[in-house]
Chain A
């Protein structure tokens, strides 16, 4: 299991053909405390680079783009009542969406942890 990162500050973790993704710690720090997270319907199709979710702070709403394409299998229901989970634990319990990976090739060229750390330093 390896976590990959995008230049749009999302992380994605693939197990078998299921990809779980969310926003990085760096992204949540930039956004500030979240007050609302809008997640897609289970069963809807996401395409890589398209809008997947919206995260809102007191000040502004920001789009989260899908790092990979696929059908939405599950979304993090806990964020409805506790959006700040994304701030507290962005890369574990603050995950956003699980999709059924439609093209594993999309993972190629994504950043590993070291490359992402360099990007944000």
Chain B
């Protein structure tokens, strides 16, 4: 008996637009998504680094949490994440993770505290598409009964990334230039009400825009009509984040990796490190004090052959020391780039290792992350 794995794919509000633009559609986390458009991944990637790329990220989960006030809601959410939510200011957002009792990562997410006083006690979360269901169950079970959690199903999420993103949005909206990196506001873009945050997943300056599903098409067309904007698919999204050294959930971080091993402990504040109070705090505190058994590092193959996820990393004598978790070719750095985990004694920049690609050991070097300098708004 064969397993029924071909459940119909969900469509984002921009599905018809993707088809109209010639998007090559693939299944991703249960959604039909464009992996690329006719111009191709390399062109889309480079355009984003030079001008601005438009991405449909509506497959991601948008969750609304409602509590009495910020003290209550932050206390509740801090039971599930190591990030400092209590000290998150109005109109600011923060990167954090849901952790399990072993200190592994259940998902990574963005937490936004709305700017408006009327929204006091509310938080807006954006989680990975592949983890939506599990995250929502975690929130329902883990937050106190006084907190109301709602999965938002009637909004699209668009990303505009790249050095020209600010000027593009400014031509359609007031107050964009004043927005700091990792801040969020409600504002009208081309007359359409949006929740705009200055954030992204490309290593570039940029914005992520939540908009009502029925207005998503209009907003997308408006952004794409700007000469600096090119539609980009999941392929370019992946190569951009890889060059930027950003983790992909399920590849670079998962239930077995801790935030310390993954090198994202910068997202855990001093207060949370000492107070703990999140699942797996003991492991995180121990690792911060005594070190880790493995660390996420950048790995650059010395040759031209890309080393992809799953590739074994060996020492120069051929003993397996770790595994590549993401890898491919960086169109901006014009060479193959990978990330993976190795023991700390192999993690120093410049350490020589080997990658087993199609059975052959290829020389590679431990490299600093990100592979390209971040270009965030200061």
Contact = CB atoms under 8 A, between A and B. Distances in A.
Contact of B305 (A56, A57, A58): A56
B331 A58 contact: yes
A57 B358 CA distance: 16
B36 interface: yes
A33 interface: yes
Interface string B278-313: 000000000000000000000000001110100000
A83 B36 CA distance: 20
A13 to B, nearest CB: 27
Interface in B212-242: 235, 238-239
A32 B358 contact: no
Contacts of B250: none
B42 A58 contact: yes
Contacts of B329: 35-36, 56-58
A7 interface: no
A58 B358 contact: no
Interface in B20-49: 35-36, 40-43, 45
Nearest to A81: B304
A57 B304 contact: no
A112 B250 CA distance: 45
B304 A32 contact: no
A73 to B, nearest CB: 22
A71 interface: no
Nearest to A37: B304
Interface in B339-356: none
Interface string A5-19: 000000000000000
A66 to B, nearest CB: 16
Contacts of A36: 304-306, 329, 336
A42 to B, nearest CB: 17
A80 interface: yes
B328 interface: yes
Given A38-B305, A59-B328, A54 B358 contact: yes
A110 to B, nearest CB: 27
A119 to B, nearest CB: 20
- The range of chain A's interface size is 10 to 19
A59 B358 contact: no
A27 interface: no
A50 B239 CA distance: 31
A35 B235 CA distance: 14
B355 to A, nearest CB: 13
Interface string B259-285: 000000000000000000000000000
Given A33-B40, A33-B41, A35-B329, A58 B304 contact: no
A78 to B, nearest CB: 13
Contact of A57 (B41, B43, B238, B336): B41
Contacts of B35: 59
A107 interface: no
A48 B328 CA distance: 29
Contacts of A56: 305-306, 329
A111 interface: no
Nearest to A56: B306
Contact of B36 (A32, A38, A80): A32
A32 B39 CA distance: 9
A35 B40 contact: no
Interface in B39-76: 40-43, 45
A58 B308 contact: no
Interface in A42-76: 54, 56-61
A35 B306 contact: yes
A59 B326 CA distance: 11
Most buried by B among A36, A54, A59: A59
A115 B304 CA distance: 36
A54 B328 CA distance: 14
A32 B305 contact: no
A36 B235 CA distance: 17
A77 to B, nearest CB: 13
Contacts of A38: 305, 358
Contacts of B328: 58-59
Given A59-B41, A80-B304, 7 more contacts: A32-B36, A35-B329, A58-B328, A59-B36, A59-B238, A59-B239, A83-B304
Interface of B: 35-36, 40-43, 45, 235, 238-239, 304-306, 308, 328-329, 331, 336, 358
